[in-house]
Structure 1
Amino acid sequence: MGRANQALKEVLETYRISQNRLAVMLEIDRSAVFKWVRDQREPSSETIVEITKALKQLNPDAARAFVQLYLGDILEDEAGGEG
């Protein structure tokens, strides 16, 4: 499963956000969200930004979790002086 797909699936389940609710926020058909969650299609980088913005409106904690799951500790690793 793609990293964005897995992150989205986990966040929607954890924060009890329906696929339909996210689709409405994104002004897209619910089938697109279904395909992302089922790993049938990978969201584009632009779409990931829009997903994050929509999640932030629905639940800021969900948006933070999505970014953390998708990007991991990329910034923390750099701040720790590695590299």
Structure 2
Amino acid sequence: MGRAGKALRQVLEVHNISQNQLAVAMDIGRSSINRWVNENRDPSAEAVIEIIEALEKINSAAARDFLLLYLGRFILNDNQT
């Protein structure tokens, strides 16, 4: 487990976003965010999209950083072609 959780934890720390802020932006319970950040559970594909959308509302740089940390090598490879 973990790539999304690790990326999310790092983004929240770097951009000083609380788990509660993200939970409110996503309209879900903070416990879900906590499970992802602590790598107890991976977010579904739909939840990853919702994470990106919520981060975009809070801080667009955080959304970009999450994408790069989570899908970095795929994004970078796509831009190189």
Same fold by TM-score greater than 0.5: yes
Number of residue pairs matched by the alignment:
81
> Normalized against structure 1, the TM-score is what?
0.91
Higher helix share: 2
Q: Which amino acid aligns with 1:75?
A: I
- Runs of 4+ residues deviating >6 angstroms: none
User: Equivalent residue for 1:74?
Assistant: 74
Q: Which amino acid aligns with 2:11?
A: V
> Larger radius of gyration, structure 1 or 2?
1
Unaligned runs of 5+ in 1: none
User: Equivalent residue for 1:28?
Assistant: 28
What's the secondary structure of 2:20's corresponding residue?
helix
String of CA shifts for 1:23-46, please: whole Å, max 9, x gaps. Answer: 011111101101100001100000
Unaligned runs of 5+ in 2: none
> Normalized against structure 2, the TM-score is what?
0.93
Query: Contact conserved, 2:19 with 2:33, CA < 8 A, in 1?
Result: yes
Q: Aligned equivalents of 2:62 and 2:78: distance in 1? A: 24
